[in-house]
Amino acid sequence: MKNYLLIMRPSHWSKNIFVFVAVVFGGKLLGPADEVLLAVGSAVGGFFCFSLAASAVYIFNDIIDRKTDSHHPEKYKRPIAAGRVTIGSAAVMSVLCAVVAIIGSFLLSHSFADLILAYIVLMIFYSLLLKRMMILDCIAISIGFCLRAVAGAVVVGVFISPWLIICTFALCLFLGFGKRRSEIEQLGEESEFFRETLAGYTPELLAHMLDVTSGLAIVCFLLYAMDDRTMRVFGTNNIVYTTPLVLYCIFRFSALIQKGRFSGPVQLILKDRPFQIGLALWVLCCIGIIYANKLGISLGTIGAY
């Protein structure tokens, strides 16, 4: 049973936290108790649906990559690559996860179900073709994260700013290129054997891509923070003052990932305490600023000083 849980990669479910972005930035954490419970409950349901959909894709991808994974310094431990789970059983598990995710998403919202289906199709296409195409591999993954963010807004029933979507896309491109950089650092000359696109990437090119995507993510965040609609919804643009925390998290991630200290974003986020503290502080500051007006606290004059 443990092996079947492992092939679902529950540690990677943390990626689906993007579903909760709309709950926080949509102002759904405060209000009448029934509305808050409905919003949070819908987001939790959406989180598990996306987690199961992602697990279905992970299992499908592990079946395809089982031979190369068996020679990877870390991935050889995966149950399918190690032979602890048969291909037939894994395939059944993948289909089961996908079916439950689709049925669950239809129960929440038909529009949400459409996004789940779009995600599954995109990721299958990625596993079969796009992951072998340089740059497009990271773009496909980033679109998948954007679908998570949009799905969160759909299932909760709030508007999501285009700037926030573009920021999510740029940030996830940054994370994707960061993972490629880490893989080159850790795998060395054998890197292209485990991932074909690494033959086209170089440390210098990836460093440039990390600079561009991190800069784009920061600029989009600032544009979102200073947008007129943000001012109307939150009653303040003070969210812009969380930028130092944003910069700290991005710079620390870039520094550690380029040194090959972690195999990817998930491992860094789960294990690096300074990054965790910076991220937690940013989330708490955003929540405080966003919900200040609802709590009767005026922050609108901070920018005047």
- DSSP secondary structure, 226-248, as one string: H-HHHHHHHS--GGGGGHHHHHH
Q: What is the CA radius of gyration of the chain?
A: 20
Tokens of 1: 């049973």
For residue 296, the model assigns a pLDDT of 64
**Residue 52 CB partners (closer than 8 Å, separation 6+):** 97, 98, 100, 101, 104
Q: What is the pLDDT of residues 1-32, one digit of tens each?
A: 788 888 888 888 888 888 888 888 888 888 88
For position 305, what pLDDT does the model report?
43
Q: Residue 124: exposed, middle, or buried by beta-carbon count in 10 A (0-12, 13-18, 19+)?
A: middle
pLDDT of amino acid 16:
87
Domain regions of the chain by residue span: 1-160, 161-305
Q: What are phi and psi of 234, to 5 degrees?
A: -95, -15
Tell me what pLDDT residue 191 has. 58
pLDDT of residue 189: 61
Given this model, what pLDDT does residue 53 score? 94
pLDDT value of residue 299: 59
Are 102 and 54 in contact, with CB atoms under 8 Å apart? Answer: no
pLDDT, tens digit (0-9, with 9 covering 90-100), for 92-110: 999 999 999 999 999 998 9
Q: Whole-prediction pTM value?
A: 0.85
Which stretches of the chain drop beneath a pLDDT of 70?
187-196, 263, 293-305
Q: Which of 204, 207, 139, 199 shows the shortest CA–CA distance to 178?
A: 207
Question: Which residue is it, tokens 């602890």?
Answer: 84
Contacts of 86 (CB under 8 A, 6+ apart): none
Architecture of domain 1-160: Orthogonal Bundle (1.10)
